[in-house]
Amino acid sequence: MMNCPCYTNKKGFYLMSHFPTINFRDQRLAPIWEKVQAGERLSLEDGVTMFETNDLISLGKMAHAVQRAKSGDVVYFVVNRQVNPTNICVLSCKFCDFAVKAKDADAYEMTMQEILGKLNHELHEVHIVGGLHPDWPWEFYVDMMRLIKASFPKIDIKAWTAVEIDFFSKKFKMPIAEVLAQLKAAGLSTMPGGGAEVFSERVRRLLFNQKIGGKRWLEIHDTAHRLGIPTNATMLYGHIETLEERVIHTIKLREQQDISRGFLTFIPLAFQPGDTGIKSGYTSAVDDLKTIAISRLMLDNFPHIKAYWVMLTEQVAPIALSFGADDMDGTVGEERIAHAAKATSPIQLAKAHIIKLIKSSGKVPVERDILYNPIAVHDADTIGKIPYLNCVPFYDRFENKPFRVLPLTPRQMGKLAEANQIDGGPFSLLDYWRVEKDFDLLDYGIAVRNLARSVVFYSNFPWMELEGKRLGITAETSTSIELLKVLLAHKYGVAAKLERMHPIFQASDAAHFDAVLVIGDEALIRAKAGLANFRYVFDLGKEWNDWTRLPFVFAVWALRKGTSPEKKQALIHQIEQAALDADQRHLNFGAWHGKRLGLTPAEVQVYFDGFNYRLGNSEKEAMEKFRGLLAEMEAAKAVLIS
């Protein structure tokens, strides 16, 4: 039998070998590390212990291991611009050096043309925050969104903190949901995380008693998530808060993410002392790195942790990429708020310089959009990794030589392959066919014998009654969608209307459709939690097998043609070792990933039992059968058009 890449500790926790062995100087961290490896959630006491430790390097190793398990070898950045339309504000917060009153000499308010003049067509994101202006009408804010989208359709808008949304609600006498719905309709994509400061009523009363507290902040972000507006979250640290208050802040965010699942990233913001008199010095690099690392370890359900170079400085931010951060924000262009408080970072960082900083940390720079969809990979020798449980066997012991790893949804991987941005990966079958002239097919993939369990079709109607119905499909897949089309057209002879759902899946959105297709980890979560009271649940793997008596191949490994024989052989060796491990189906294989989805080790085993990771004759026959059915559909469509 193969050596099992796992072991159990004294408490019976199952630990995976893809996490490093750490020799702790502070032994108080050892049981915390065991909890992390076992997928156990960290407590308030754990968080305080981590802040108190002097074993900074071990703390960094823990966070970096978790970051790599989530984000591979990449660090994200965005070509963006921050716009602060006004510094005039109705509030007077003690910690703020940015806000002024209308009669102050340095007060300013931008016109719409001045705001538009800050933007250009090279940007992917604009980040808009400012003072709470006493006189601007509601139409000004809505028109700002509309005009930006009309003038720069490729720019995504991240705008208005929870404090500003609360201000709009009160000033213009509208419910929070209505404020957000109107802004979203006008062009708002996401919300920033500012205004949270730290969730402590004690601190709020002393430093910003006119501002909303944690309860209201969380309520507003919860509403945004339920409307399909993803958001960020922040914590302002390094002023008068206690270490315990910092940890409580992360726990409250974690609890909210469990509920609404709409946070994209967490950004620890180091306090800039300015002229407030609250604190005379800046946070230390040690405190900054600790806070980044602890954030990554405490916020187990947050996809990303940002090293915001504006406040960390361009010296500390690259180091933070080895302490749990996987995002560097972006070019920013012009940032007024932190610099009004005498932030020591440069006023802007050019794209080439950000790429250089990321590479200096040994990471792969990946340019992204506002939702973390990769746009460009700025390094060579990078392969994709589907970040679903069914792909765990390929990467459980994957070494980042000779290729580094970029987590990608199936559709993202296909797009980057077509754009010549990655060298290989387990491509969605449809995406491989689109690029097969440029890629060599390997003898490995992801195939199901019968039940797929993570390609699930929820419906209010049986198949034969879906004619003309609205079907919601995820933004993450291509092969599963084509399989659904084939089943509808060839097996059941019905035509329905397929519509893309929001990229950030929300269960509430699903209820607006007659049926929805859910794939990957989301499907496994929904198998536990249910979905919108749909009456029927169909497994597309089983539907295909019942019809054809063949397995179904969802993904195939492929490598770019022209790759050196040495690199190709090294990759094949790693995949073969992974396939051998998967063949053993050893106890608790994939347990760490499964636990994050709410699955027991036994449930993970049942899931894996349905997969083949090698492409044999029956898998290749199934691929050709599927390809032929797709060709028939295309031919029929062409006849109808002509």
DSSP secondary structure letters along 320-343? HTTTT--EEEE--S---HHHHTT-
Helices (DSSP H) in 279-391: which residue ranges? Answer: 285-298, 309-312, 316-320, 337-340, 351-360
pTM: 0.89
pLDDT score for 91: 64
d(C-alpha 242, C-alpha 533), whole Å: 44
pLDDT score for 3: 37
Residue type at 289 in one-letter notation: L
**What is the number of alpha carbons within 13 Å of residue 238 lying toward its C-beta?**
23
In words, the CATH class of domain 379-448+553-641 is alpha beta
pLDDT score for 200: 93
455-548: CATH architecture:
3-Layer(aba) Sandwich (3.40)
Contact at 8 Å (CB) between 613 and 394? yes
Contact at 8 Å (CB) between 601 and 594? yes
The encoded tokens of residue 158 equal: 């991240």
Q: Decide the pairing of beta strands 364-368 and 74-78.
A: parallel
Angle, alpha carbons 146-234-272 (nearest 5°):
105
Any bridge partners for residue 368, and if so which?
374
d(C-alpha 402, C-alpha 404), whole Å: 7
**Strand runs labelled E in 17-129:** 74-78, 80-83, 125-128
Which single residue is written with the structure tokens 């793997």? 541
**What is the number of alpha carbons within 13 Å of residue 379 lying toward its C-beta?**
24
pLDDT score for 8: 47
Helices (DSSP H) in 152-242: which residue ranges? Answer: 162-171, 176-186, 201-207, 214-226
d(C-alpha 417, C-alpha 420), whole Å: 5
Q: CATH 3.40.190.10 region(s) of the chain?
A: 379-448+553-641, 455-548
Q: CATH 3.20.20.70 region(s) of the chain?
A: 74-376
CATH T-level fold of 74-376: TIM Barrel (3.20.20)
Cα separations in angstroms, 409 against 125, 437, 442, 503 = 21, 22, 20, 11
Q: Whats the size of the chain, residue-wise?
A: 642
Smallest Cα–Cα separation from 290: which of 340, 238, 362, 234? Answer: 238
Mark the ranges of the chain whose per-residue pLDDT is less than 50: 1-8, 10-17, 335-347, 641-642
pLDDT score for 502: 76
Smallest Cα–Cα separation from 384: which of 347, 330, 424, 352? Answer: 424
Under DSSP, the state recorded for 613 is E
Sign of CA dihedral 431, 436, 437, 439: positive
Peptide bond into 402 cis (omega under 30): yes
